[in-house]
Amino acid sequence: MTMDQLAFPPDSRPHWLTTAYDVAIRTLTRERRWRRALLHQIAPQPKDRIADIGCGTGSQAILLKRECPLASVYALDPNPDLLVRAEAKAARKGAGVHFMHVMPDEIGIRLASIRPGKIVSSLAFHQVPMEGKRRLIDAMFESLPSGGQIHIADYGWQRTSAMRIGFRMVQSLDGGTNTQPHADGCIPVLLEQGRFVRVVETAVIPTVTGSISLYRGVKP
């Protein structure tokens, strides 16, 4: 397994997108709508240990921690620049999230030590090559206990021509190879292949950049 297959190519990201990351997500993805829906789906509880994979600037992890301050929230990302922003943002908002710099090939080991009961990932999978998506789901499955939950928000099956046209904006930034499987509905298939059960697409939220779907699965 090479780094290319797991892929995290930070240097290929446009600089403006990293610096203006939060603004881009807010304006282009109807962020408030899907983040709150994801928050309610996860329904954080005081004893929960929650891991956010590919946390970026930490928005979802911070939301979770603020909603349930007694939950333990661990937020992992391979991009140190985004983690610096995430830590500053969490400090401003008084959210005690544990941020961790973790490269894709180390995620399994880190998850094993975190021992999460719930795992979340938002808008990260569409940037990852197919083999890396499978490896991530595998690592998540292995680290969860029986009954543990996976929650994903990401670009999903683009059902209409308007959605497919909007999604081209994401594809022009992130490339077609890693993103097209999402437009074709790969996430629930990958979750079931990854042995998760009760896999459901719980919401489809149209945005100008294509539709964002929420998914949930459970480890039997």
Ligand X SMILES: C[S@@+](CC[C@H](N)C(=O)[O-])C[C@H]1O[C@@H](n2cnc3c(N)ncnc32)[C@H](O)[C@@H]1O
- Give min distance, CB of 189 to ligand X, in A: 19
Q: Counting every residue, how long is the chain? A: 220
Q: Specify the residue, 79 or 207, whose C-beta has the smaller distance to ligand X.
A: 79
- Count of chain residues binding ligand X (CB under 6 A): 21
Pairwise CA distance, residues 112 & 134, whole Å: 17
- Give min distance, CB of 123 to ligand X, in A: 4
The binding track of 18-57 with respect to ligand X, each residue x by CB under 6 A or -, is -------x---------------------------xxxx-
**Nearest Cα to 83, choosing from 59, 117, 105, 64?**
59
Among positions 104, 166, 181, 194, the unique one binding ligand X when judged by CB under 6 A: 104
Q: What Cα–Cα distance (Å) separates residue 135 from each residue in 41, 129, 142?
A: 24, 10, 11
Among positions 63, 64, 97, 123, the unique one binding ligand X when judged by CB under 6 A: 123
Would you report the helix, strand and coil content of the chain in percent, each value rounded to 5? Answer: 50, 20, 30
- Taking CB under 6 A as the binding criterion, the range among 2-10, 109-117, 164-172, 192-200 that sits at the site for ligand X is 2-10
- Token pair 């939060």 is found at 22
φ, ψ dihedrals at 5, nearest 5°: -75, -30
Decide: helix, strand or coil at residue 129. coil
The footprint of ligand X (CB under 6 A) covers 6-8, 25, 53-56, 59-60, 77-79, 82, 104, 122-124, 127-128, 132
